[in-house]
Structure 1
Amino acid sequence: MSRRHAAIDVTFSICVREPYTDEEGNRHHRFGVAVTTRLPAVGTLCPFASEHGAVATQSLVNVELGRKGIDYLADGLAVEDALEALLNADEGRAQRQLHGVDADGTFVFSGDECRDWYGHTAGENYTVAGNLLTGSDVIDATAAAYESEAFGEGPLAARLIDALAAGHEEGGDKRTDLPIQSAALLVETTEDVEDEPTSPDSIDLRVDATETPIDDLRDTYELTLQGWTDAAVKYEGENEE
């Protein structure tokens, strides 16, 4: 099956931007996207992020909407212009959900042929969308969980997992006859992290096949941080010799 138009329905996701100031007083943005669904390997299909923004393509997935969306943001297009242009050229627009953020704006769209329950919401710095959900409470809970921790002390990656967990606990994907699930998250930053390759502000994690996607994504995230710390301690100073 072509990954360009994958004949599967991806369920719900959140895209976020967070402006912040580094230790030297320079302004930056973090961009993050997280998603979960009752199908395997959602991380290969839905979430896209770069130092220019974050995009999620779902419902009847067209992967090119995510890939080209990120490319258009890198070319300098505003997120609303980039994603609307892609949808206007997509014959399957009515079956798509597409949403995202850049440094200045947000965009969210749900086609009128998405499968119930479907819908979306947007805040000042985030978008949430979902389909095949148990109800609108899933979207509301995801958004509320993010808002309650927005710009919090913890890394954005951890707070994105918390937001997914809230939606999942509210009912999430209604297809309970599909036990094999997946989840993924991406975070990128405009800050140069080449000298800190283990920063949670630049992270790409996936849980491709599991019956407990949110718990496993959280475990994967925590083990990743622990693994980075262990390696740094073990090899501290070796690259300086």
Structure 2
Amino acid sequence: MTFSICVREEYEDEDGTDQLRFGVAVTTRLPAVGTLCPFASENGAVATQSLVNVELGERGIEYIDDGLAVDDALQSLLNADDGAENRQLHGIDADGTFTFSGEECKGWYGHLEGENYTVAGNLLTGEAVIENVAETYEESDRDAPLAQRLIDALGAGYAEGGDKREELHVQSAALKVRTTEEEEHSPYYNDLRVDATETPIQDLRETYRLAGDGFAEAMERYQDAMEDDDLEAAEDDE
């Protein structure tokens, strides 16, 4: 009922220090997928879907944060899950990737992985959906924000047909981006959800645009006050 992508990217911050960023994005023909499927931290990204077991995502990220490799973390959780054959689970950490699609997932279902990403989907119109997601991400401009490129990747899968259940009109989409870089203020546009809509990609893209504008406006107006931890000073300037 879902397709999603998890990615890892290396980059240099403004000081020339090597950093990692992780992202996960997902869409489905059900409401509020952002509460169920995507998980990310500065150490990795995980997506849990099909017959969702949220604990696989929650504990998967916890295990990765504790230093367990992504394949060991997620496989150990599946080994303890009696419903594993109904699950799709995939993710990435600093060193590796993991993909799993249980044999009882509903077709079309499947997954693929590249050097620095994983993609999976079920109840799709066909394999081309996840292939388009992967191709669009691979060809994306790395100078553009990751959140924007994740939306583009979802959009490519959606345009190819996406979730095949056209009778379900209420849809949703979500994304999360985390980084090893110590950010003084986490950008609003790196953790977004559209919980109930008939146009999930369009609405997530517009939410991303507005969140970016709002973050810039807030930094311009309140940055000094936030640095001084003194909101009253900002209110005095209004």
Quick one: which amino acid aligns to residue 220 of structure 2? V
Equivalent of 1:186, from 176, 181, 195?
176
Counterpart for residue 116 of structure 1? 107
* Bigger radius of gyration among the two: 2
1:162, 1:90 → 2: CA distance? 33
1:133 Cα deviation after fit: 0.1
State how 1:160-171 maps to structure 2 within 5 Å: 160-171=150-161
> Do residues 127 (structure 1) and 114 (structure 2) align?
no
Structure 2, gaps ≥5 residues long: 234-238
Counterpart for residue 68 of structure 1? 59
Work out whether residues 112 and 118 of structure 2, in 8 Å CA contact, stay in contact via their aligned partners in 1. Answer: yes
Quick one: which amino acid aligns to residue 197 of structure 1? S
1:23 Cα deviation after fit: 2.0
1:199 Cα deviation after fit: 6.7
Structure 1, gaps ≥5 residues long: 1-9
- 1:236–1:108: structure 2 CA closer, same or farther, 3 Å change rule? closer
State how 1:1-241 maps to structure 2 within 5 Å: 10-149=1-140, 152-193=142-183, 195-198=184-187, 203-235=190-222, 237-239=224-226
Per the normalisation by structure 2, the TM-score is 0.93
Give 1 or 2: higher helix fraction: 2
1:220 Cα deviation after fit: 0.3
CA deviation string 1:140-182 (max 9, x = no partner)? 00000000016x1111000000000000000000000000000
1:19 Cα deviation after fit: 1.0
1:27 Cα deviation after fit: 1.4
- 1:60–1:170: structure 2 CA closer, same or farther, 3 Å change rule? same
Quick one: which amino acid aligns to residue 215 of structure 1? Q
Quote the sequence identity (%).
66
Work out whether residues 188 and 211 of structure 2, in 8 Å CA contact, stay in contact via their aligned partners in 1. Answer: no
Quick one: which amino acid aligns to residue 198 of structure 1? P
2:225, 2:59 → 1: CA distance? 41
Per the normalisation by structure 1, the TM-score is 0.91
Supply the RMSD in Å over aligned alpha carbons.
Answer: 1.3
Counterpart for residue 236 of structure 2? none
1:236 Cα deviation after fit: 5.2
Quick one: which amino acid aligns to residue 105 of structure 1? G
